[in-house]
């Protein structure tokens, strides 16, 4: 459980340590090929470029492998930074109560800010950071993808670290683990299965907003970086249905490739971190991980890496220095807690005063009342859609999570559905709604949850997969069946994971409202009343003050919803259903 980085071999695997074997020679071309193509893509990202220069994106399908390579490199770079952000965020928020009071609401706000809001702030600084080079625009695109990945992963890791079982906490205390050792040897291994499923969901979330990330507008210039997102944007502008079909095929190919070469081996490797005393009936399988376990080179490298971390840096060695007491989370003293709360109150009052000044001088109270009304409409849509998605996907997700042999088959399909950009559905949506004369206020709503319902699926599958096998056997021996088994075993076990998925699905649905409530295909535009369509229309007209008002109201609604609804359920999951 505690050996995080060590690549363990199974008892039935015999590895020849005397030299390279056939498994090494089979792995070598694969590793060299991956390194070569990613190095080529990285070189293309740093070529000379000046703002105003046209970057051609061709709809010729022969360019799609190259575009797919550029897109996947951006997404994995953003995923790496998202993972680092999640480690730092969760470790600090769990350890320090004072920081938690700021960081969790801040994450709620960041999750609610649309990608358009981040782009408006960050594009110019990134371009200025790398003048005359395409790398500045690439960094802006990767940051936009980062904002669609990081918050979900941070919430997942934070939730898992807050719900580590008491017996494991006591074991860490007995072994006198420091804060660093507790994180790497207890909290992160315990959170690993759920974190990996959320990494897959974050990759899919990056695909979902890829068009906005790669088709960038700055200083009156449109910059379309070579990639699948820009390809889709050009295809939509040209109303080219064949190009959209080719883009869907390329997306599916890319998802299958990194599922087999990256996520499937990680999930199979992370199976050893499940918190149970007996091994489950069926573990995750990966042909690539089996190759690696049979490779003498990989075995030698991983053992050397483990030895370097353990003995060279002392990361995992246990030293009885008494720091285990300081590793435990301690509440602030009453005096410092009151002072800290007072400072937060002052900052909040200043922000409210500045907001009132902005409203009075720039937009007017009547506009604010109108925007709050539109936000209420979007809120009703979000809550209804999350409720319906939960009724559908929670039972299905539990069934999948309890059967690893099926979860492996569903894994790539679920990633593809979660990654499917809602923009690609515009032709079908416009055709059906215009043909049947359907009301946009009702029938555009499902688009909001199309790409975000999968947060619930992935999190609940991860939660169900980590239910200890002995607990399931005990329930069977006690004769629990039907609703009683769900009430006493399954729902309490997956409840923390479900809340994490519902929070991120809710925040994602608010962001998706910008795309879902304002649908355009060629010269046909369908608009539903709501905050998302308001922000989209103000963005097209270039009204910065009303864009800021719309984004600010969205942040307020998401923060209040998380604080007074989801947060209460979160605490219930932590304190009573653990």
Domains delineated in the chain: 49-273+286-331 (1.10.3720.10), 364-578 (1.10.3720.10)
Quick one: pLDDT band at residue 14, thresholds 50, 70, 90? very low
pLDDT surpassing 70 at residue 215: yes
What single-letter DSSP state applies at residue 312? Answer: I
pLDDT surpassing 90 at residue 269: no
Give the mean model confidence (pLDDT) for residues 394-398. 90
Let me know the angle formed at the C-alpha of 74 by 32 and 497, rounded to the nearest 5 degrees: 105
How far out from the chain centre does Cα 515 lie?
A: 19
Distances (CA, A) of 156 to 33, 150, 435, 464, 477: 33, 10, 42, 15, 32
Quick one: pLDDT band at residue 329, thresholds 50, 70, 90? low
Q: Which residue has the tokens 């923009």?
A: 423
Instruction: Give percent of the chain above pLDDT 90.
Output: 8
Rounded Cα gap, residues 336 and 551, in angstroms = 34
Predicted TM-score of the model (pTM): 0.75
Cβ-contact 269, 289 below 8 angstroms: yes
pLDDT surpassing 80 at residue 293: no
Cβ-contact 244, 236 below 8 angstroms: yes
Q: Three-state SS across 208-253?
A: HCHHHHHEEEECCEEEECCCHHHHHHHHHHHCCHHHHHHHHHHHHH
Give the mean model confidence (pLDDT) for residues 555-562. 82
- For the chain, the first-to-last Cα distance in angstroms comes to 19
Quick one: pLDDT band at residue 449, thresholds 50, 70, 90? confident
CA atoms within 13 A on the CB side of 376: 6
- Name 323's Cβ contacts closer than 8 Å, sequence gap at least 6: 176, 178, 179
Cβ-contact 96, 166 below 8 angstroms: no
More confident residue, 332 or 123: 123
- Tokens linked to 564: 């007074």
pLDDT surpassing 60 at residue 13: no
pLDDT surpassing 50 at residue 15: no
Q: Provide the pLDDT for residue 384.
A: 92
Q: Which of 82-86, 182-186, 293-297, 348-352 has the lowest mean pLDDT?
A: 348-352
74-118 pLDDT, tens digit each: 999 999 999 999 999 998 888 887 788 788 878 877 877 777 667
Give the mean model confidence (pLDDT) for residues 523-536. 84
pLDDT surpassing 60 at residue 330: no
- How much is the mean pLDDT over the chain? 77
Q: Which of 338-347, 475-484, 555-564 has the lowest mean pLDDT?
A: 338-347
Q: Which of 30-39, 112-121, 393-402, 466-475 has the highest mean pLDDT?
A: 393-402
Quick one: pLDDT band at residue 320, thresholds 50, 70, 90? very low
Cβ-contact 454, 419 below 8 angstroms: no
- Burial pattern 390-424, b for ≥16 Cβ within 10 A else e, equals beebbeebbebbbbbeebbebbbebbbbbbbbbbb
Q: Provide the pLDDT for residue 133.
A: 84
Strands (E), 502-544: 518-521, 524-527
Give the mean model confidence (pLDDT) for residues 348-363. 69
502-514 pLDDT, tens digit each: 887 887 788 778 7
Q: Provide the pLDDT for residue 2.
A: 41
Rounded Cα gap, residues 280 and 183, in angstroms = 25
Based on the number of CB atoms within 10 Å of its own CB, is 205 exposed (0-12), middle (13-18) or buried (19 or more)? buried
């Amino acid at each position: 459980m505690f050996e995080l980085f060590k690549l363990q071999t199974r008892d039935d695997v015999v590895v020849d340590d005397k030299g390279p074997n056939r498994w090494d020679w089979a792995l070598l071309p694969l590793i060299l090929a991956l390194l070569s193509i990613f190095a080529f893509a990285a070189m293309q990202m740093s070529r000379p470029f000046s703002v105003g220069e046209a970057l051609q994106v061709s709809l010729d399908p022969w360019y799609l492998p190259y575009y797919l390579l550029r897109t996947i490199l951006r997404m994995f770079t953003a995923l790496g930074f998202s993972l680092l952000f999640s480690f730092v965020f969760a470790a600090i928020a769990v350890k320090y109560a004072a920081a938690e009071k700021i960081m969790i609401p801040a994450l709620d706000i960041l999750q609610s800010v649309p990608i358009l809001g981040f782009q408006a702030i960050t594009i110019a600084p990134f371009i200025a950071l790398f003048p005359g080079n395409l790398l500045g625009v690439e960094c802006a695109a990767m940051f936009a993808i980062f904002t669609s990945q990081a918050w979900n992963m941070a919430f997942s890791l934070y939730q898992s670290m807050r719900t580590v079982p008491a017996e494991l906490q006591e074991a860490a205390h007995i072994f006198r683990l420091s804060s660093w050792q507790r994180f790497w040897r207890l909290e992160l291994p315990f959170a690993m299965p759920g974190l990996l499923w959320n990494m897959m969901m974050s990759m899919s979330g990056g695909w979902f907003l890829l068009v906005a990330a790669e088709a960038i507008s700055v200083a009156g210039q449109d910059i379309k970086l070579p990639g699948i997102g820009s390809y889709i944007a050009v295809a939509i502008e040209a109303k080219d249905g064949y190009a959209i079909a080719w883009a869907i095929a390329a997306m599916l190919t890319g998802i299958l490739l990194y599922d087999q070469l990256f996520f499937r081996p990680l999930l199979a490797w992370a199976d050893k971190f499940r918190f149970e005393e007996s091994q489950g009936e069926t573990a995750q399988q990966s042909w690539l991980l089996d190759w690696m376990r049979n490779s003498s080179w990989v075995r030698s490298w991983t053992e050397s890496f483990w030895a370097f971390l353990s003995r060279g840096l002392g990361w995992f060695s246990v030293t009885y220095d008494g720091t285990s007491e300081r590793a435990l989370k301690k509440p602030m003293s009453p005096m410092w807690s009151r002072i800290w709360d007072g400072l937060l109150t002052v900052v909040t009052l200043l922000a409210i005063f500045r907001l009132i000044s902005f409203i009075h001088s720039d937009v007017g109270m009547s506009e604010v009342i109108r925007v709050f009304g539109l936000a209420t409409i979007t809120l009703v849509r979000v809550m209804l859609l999350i409720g319906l998605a939960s009724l559908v996907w929670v039972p299905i997700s539990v069934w999948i999570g309890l059967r690893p042999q099926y979860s492996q088959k569903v894994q790539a399909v679920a990633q593809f559905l979660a990654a499917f950009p809602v923009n690609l559905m515009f032709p079908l949506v416009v055709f059906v709604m215009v043909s049947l004369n359907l009301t946009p206020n009702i029938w555009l709503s499902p688009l909001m949850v199309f790409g975000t319902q999968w947060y619930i699926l992935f999190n609940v599958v991860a939660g169900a997969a980590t239910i200890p096998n002995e607990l399931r056997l005990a329930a069977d021996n006690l004769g629990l069946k039907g609703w009683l088994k769900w009430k006493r075993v399954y729902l309490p076990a997956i409840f923390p994971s479900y809340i994490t998925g519902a929070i991120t699905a809710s925040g994602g649905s608010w962001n998706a409202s910008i795309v879902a409530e304002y649908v355009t295909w060629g010269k046909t535009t369908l608009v539903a009343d709501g905050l998302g369509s308001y922000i989209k229309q103000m963005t097209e007209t270039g009204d910065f003050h009303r864009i800021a008002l719309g984004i600010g109201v969205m942040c307020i609604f998401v923060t209040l919803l998380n604080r007074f609804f989801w947060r209460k359920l979160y605490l219930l999951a932590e304190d009573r259903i653990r």
